[in-house]
Copies of this chain bind each other. A is one copy, B any other.
């Protein structure tokens, strides 16, 4: 969803729908009308500009426009650093979580667009994480790249559970980069599906 309806903006600003329409009519908020009934639409970009202009805090659902945040979940520092180096040098903003607890916390806090996940971390089943993320609305849209040295059966299972891609260890930097860019390039997350 690239645009917002009046109803959505009303909820986001905690204001009446009628008021939003008046803002648009008055020109305070840039929008356009669809044919048919004349329903209003506002581009997310214009809405954010509007919020910034009036010093209104930007709702977290919209703040996720930083399409370059990546969370690396791996207990092996060497691997994590390696991934981090590749991604950072290509313009991504990265953070590393060394255990499941940190992973969950940082995923929920920073809402990265993409997470790399070691399938076999001690005490943490990557499968469980996949399932859990997919059924948790706030983070269900996160792109997940599974990183594993396991065989194709395991990887297939990961894909079935909702992984967006898998990388077998060892992998080339180019493979990783191509994989990540491919996933976040076309990424557009729907905004209000959480309520």
- At the interface, yes or no: A132 with Cβ under 8 Å from chain B? yes
Complex Cα distance, B22 from A22, in Å, reads 27
The stretch from A35-43, A86-94, A143-151, A172-180 touching chain B is A35-43
The stretch from A77-85, A98-106, A159-167, A185-193 touching chain B is A98-106
Complex Cα distance, B107 from A35, in Å, reads 34
Min C-beta distance of A47 to chain B, whole Å: 12
Residue among A35, A36, A41, A105 with the most chain B CB within 10 A?
A105
Assembly stoichiometry (copies): 2
Q: Which of B33, B36, B54, B103 is close to A101, meaning CB atoms less than 8 Å apart?
A: B103
| Interface size grouping (class) on chain A | 35 or more
Given contacts A35-B54, A41-B14, contact A125 B99 (CB under 8 A): yes
Q: Which of B2, B14, B101, B103 is close to A3, meaning CB atoms less than 8 Å apart?
A: B14
Which secondary structure dominates chain A's binding surface?
mixed
Chain B residues contacting A99 (CB-CB under 8 Å) are 100, 123-125, 128-129
B-contacting residues, A20-68, CB 8 Å? 22-23, 26, 28-29, 32-36, 41, 43, 50, 54-57
- Whether the pair B57, A34 counts as a contact (CB closer than 8 A) is no
Complex Cα distance, B98 from A55, in Å, reads 38
Q: Which of B23, B43, B57, B123 is close to A121, meaning CB atoms less than 8 Å apart?
A: B123
Min C-beta distance of A116 to chain B, whole Å: 14
What is the chain B residue whose CB lies nearest that of A55? B32
- Whether the pair A132, B54 counts as a contact (CB closer than 8 A) is no
Complex Cα distance, B26 from A110, in Å, reads 32
- Whether the pair A56, B29 counts as a contact (CB closer than 8 A) is no
Enumerate chain A interface residues (CB-CB to B < 8 A). Answer: 1-3, 13-15, 19, 22-23, 26, 28-29, 32-36, 41, 43, 50, 54-57, 98-109, 121-125, 128-129, 132, 136, 138-139
